[in-house]
Structure 1
Amino acid sequence: MPMHPQVRAHLERLAAANFTGLHTVSPEQARAGDRRLTAATVAAPEPIAEVIDRIADTAAGELPLRIYRPTAAVGPAPVIVFFHGGGFVLGDLDSHDALARSVANAAGMVVISVDYPLAPEHKYPSQVDAGLAATTWVAEHAVELGVDASRLAVAGDSAGGNLAAVVALKARDVGAPHIAFQVLIYPDLDFRRENRTITTLAGRYGNITREAQFWFRDHYLDDPALRFDPRVSPVLEPDLSGLPPAYIITAEYDALREEGEQYGQQLRDAGVDVTVRRYDGMIHEFLRHPFDDAAIAIAELAAALRGALGAPISLR
């Protein structure tokens, strides 16, 4: 389909800004630029009933969390453990604050965003260890948090979608915590960087260049051979049976589209209940921008969460 006019206008503004190529700067410089870009382009955060920052003492060390509660609850609430995107190098609790608020409000559920350690200061598997530890901590502290550990989902966008998928795999393998649902938002699932959309859409439609793809990969991985590890590239996992049901969002003009849709088919072939929803005319990270289709996608995602996890928070 033709690119949505709102997306086209957004990309024209980005092109006019003439940003320096990511692969030519340090991670610190890239983070500073990403914070400026977020402030200039991301949708304004919605009001929400309660936001609490806290430090969780987990098996992977102390991890900052941000807890979003859309309204006072009667009884334990469904909970979504959320991992932000940013290629494992960029992003934090603030960069995805608006998206976390929108999902919590739309679903009527508690969202707990995880500030996992970033590369290259922390290489793989630090992020996976932190993701599993944070999810386990939420499940173990469910009563204190006022959430229902039996209705726990993992979710994430881009690199965070990778982390959500890998946490679901690790939890299945070790038998805990129980994960009832996984939400993968334009997930980054194949670090080989060889499929059709990752190569042909690189550097186009707001997607990062091939050089930037490898910049992110090399910061994340100590050894390039790790790109074949299924806990780095979940599309290479030979056994996807026994995983929680999944909801996967992809975008037509996103370089990560093919691997997200491939993983959905692989889950389906393994007997996992999965929905793959492609948004035509959209680009990578579109849920974070003030596009009409972003609002539609969040509403549909919220409906999927309610269908999977049951009733949302009840009003007092």
Structure 2
Amino acid sequence: MDAQSKFTFFLLKLVDAKKLASKTLLHPKRSKQFKFPHRLKKYLHEQFLVHRRNVVTFASNAATSSKHIVFLHGGGYTVEVQNGHWWLVEQLVKKSANKLSFIDYPLAPEHNYLHAHAMLTEAYTQLCQKHPNDIFYLLGDSAGGGFCLAFAQNLRDTHFAPQPEKIALLSPWLDLSMCNPAIAEMEPLDLLLSTKTLLSCANWFANGLDLKSPVLSPLYGTMNDLKSVAAFVGSHELFLPDCRLLKQKLESSNTPLFYKEYSGMQHDFILFPIKARHTLLNDVLAYFG
């Protein structure tokens, strides 16, 4: 781990980032209106509403590819898109010839998984109709990663729209029940996430549904017949044990897998202004091709 990352993570420990993150997750703030950074306006390709939520597609002037990334942000299903997510969107648009559509899906506690899945289903369907020649990929970090995989499993089972050709999961939250006993060993290492806090967020989003239902926790879903899955995870995060279980399940399926762990890295480190996030970004770009 480089010195910059060590210093950044030292600061996280110093300010008790886990306590701050729990407060943010449990008492999420809401913007009066949806907006994205001004610097992204030059990439704006189209914008429309689905269930009164925004779907925004970005593309650079050099966008010549038929590849189309659909991005679902993380935040424990409660927190709105953060600056780090917009950095990731900008980099993916600038450094590839692909389109990227950001889905502003409904969040808990005001909404639950039914609202989120209904909005995403309609948004994805409309994107497929608007861009019939595009090849779709899914990308999500943290909760957005778990959401991507659960949605892809649903697409496979229902056949209502084309399956994504590739699914990239960054530090994905795969099991909302947090029942893996190995998670307890990771709790002291993860400077951001708290099992207790995540369970509160999970129950808001689930609205009474069993937390082990695959629509919430895709780790319990069938892994066969997905086109391709990549999982990227830090070695110092609560979700590492479940990511390793995902790896085992995918290796036992007929779905191609790319898997990588990053030594010493914290949860969702692509959102932090450290050199290591560029390594992960390049790995994602390489996976999407």
TM-score grouping bracket, smaller chain normalisation: 0.7 to 0.9
Matched residue SS, 1:65 = strand
Structure 1 residue 125 displacement after superposition? 2.3
Matched residue SS, 1:270 = coil
Match of 1:241 in 2: 224
4+ long deviations beyond 6 Å: 44-48
Per-residue CA shift, 1:224-248, capped at 9, x if unaligned?
Answer: x5212011111111x3211121111
Residue identity in the other structure for 2:180 = N
Moved more, 128-137 or 3-12: 3-12
Match of 1:5 in 2: 3
Per-residue CA shift, 1:35-85, capped at 9, x if unaligned?
Answer: xxxxxxxxx99878513562234xxx23302222123444x6310000000
Pair 131,199 (structure 1): closer, same or farther in 2 beyond 3 Å:
farther
Residue identity in the other structure for 1:70 = S
How many residue pairs are counted as aligned between the two chains?
281
Residue identity in the other structure for 1:56 = L
The answer to whether the 8 A contact 1:80-1:154 is kept is yes
Residue identity in the other structure for 1:228 = K
Residue identity in the other structure for 1:117 = P
Give, in whole Å, the separation in 2 of the partners of 1:305 and 1:244.
Answer: 13
Which of 102, 116, 119 is residue 127 of structure 1 equivalent to? Answer: 116
Match of 1:158 in 2: 142
Q: TM-score, normalised by structure 1?
A: 0.80
Give, in whole Å, the separation in 2 of the partners of 1:301 and 1:45.
Answer: 25
Matched residue SS, 1:302 = helix
Match of 1:35 in 2: none
User: Percent identity of the aligned residues?
Assistant: 19
Give, in whole Å, the separation in 1 of the partners of 2:13 and 2:42.
Answer: 37
Which runs of 5 or more structure 1 residues have no equivalent in the other structure?
33-43, 307-316
1:50 to 2:43 alignment: yes
The correspondence of residues 1-316 of structure 1 with structure 2, limited to 5 A, is: 3-18=1-16, 20=19, 27=26, 29-31=27-29, 50-52=43-45, 54-57=47-50, 61-74=51-64, 77-92=66-81, 96-142=85-131, 148-149=133-134, 151-178=135-162, 179-202=164-187, 204-223=189-208, 226-237=210-221, 239-306=222-289
C-alpha RMSD of matched pairs (Å)? 2.6
The answer to whether the 8 A contact 1:23-1:211 is kept is no
Structure 1 residue 214 displacement after superposition? 1.9
The answer to whether the 8 A contact 2:84-2:271 is kept is no
Match of 1:311 in 2: none
Residue identity in the other structure for 1:99 = L
Give, in whole Å, the separation in 2 of the partners of 1:289 and 1:25.
Answer: 17
Q: TM-score, normalised by structure 2?
A: 0.87
Structure 1 residue 5 displacement after superposition? 2.9
Pair 23,67 (structure 1): closer, same or farther in 2 beyond 3 Å:
same
